[in-house]
Amino acid sequence: MTNTTGRRVTANLSLTLDGRYNGPGGPGDLGAIVPYAMTETARRHLSRTHREATTVVLGRRNAEGFLGFWPTVAADDNADPRDRAYAKWLVEAEKVVFSRTLDEAPWERTRLVDAPAADVLTELKATGEGDILVNSSASVIKALLAADLLDRLYLMICPEISGGGERLFDDGLPASAWRLTHQEAGEKGELALVYDRAS
């Protein structure tokens, strides 16, 4: 399907130096990621991810975690303004959640889907306006990398080697070229990077 809307499919994820988005303990093992999640660099990076996005795409696990936490931040007058802006955006944005187990969405402005990620994102890209952000949902991001459907990558590189866990970039992905359009180093050694597909 030809993209006539100009919508970009973007993805946001934090990785260790050895390319892992979790540690050897499984999906909940974020010990190498969490220390860098609330730095000044990370907050500025998070602000960039949703600046032009109108739709957020999440896997079920992230949806349950994010939407159980961020609405309270949106309502907290004492929260960091950048965190609060992101939280309000997440609450108000159109949400598409991949799930095989949920029967109905427990969140407002949310559509549940149980279909191949490539098909869903191709449909989203052909309608509406604004960027589509796949937000920290590695399983969806990996499917879109395999289908060659991502236009921008927001990566936070955490300066630790986890030595195990799941990698974002698996062997066998289609070859692609990217150009670095933003970079920022934080005080703890974290790197905020934005890559756009090279034309």
Per residue in 155-197, pLDDT tens? 999 999 999 999 999 999 999 999 999 999 999 999 999 999 9
> The tokens of 36 are what?
């860098």
**Domain ranges, ordered by start, for the chain:** 9-197
Task: Report how far residue 167's alpha carbon sits from residue 173's, in angstroms, rounded to the nearest whole number.
Answer: 12
CATH 3.40.430.10 fits 9-197, yes or no: yes
SS3 at position 84: helix
**Structural Rg of the chain based on CA atoms:** 16
Asked if pLDDT for residue 2 goes beyond 80, the answer is: no
pLDDT score at 4:
54
pLDDT score at 1:
40
Give tens-digit pLDDT for 15-71.
Answer: 999 999 999 999 999 999 999 999 999 999 999 999 999 999 999 998 998 888 999
What is the pTM assigned to this prediction?
0.93
- Nearest residue to 13 (alpha-carbon basis) of 141, 130, 163, 187: 141
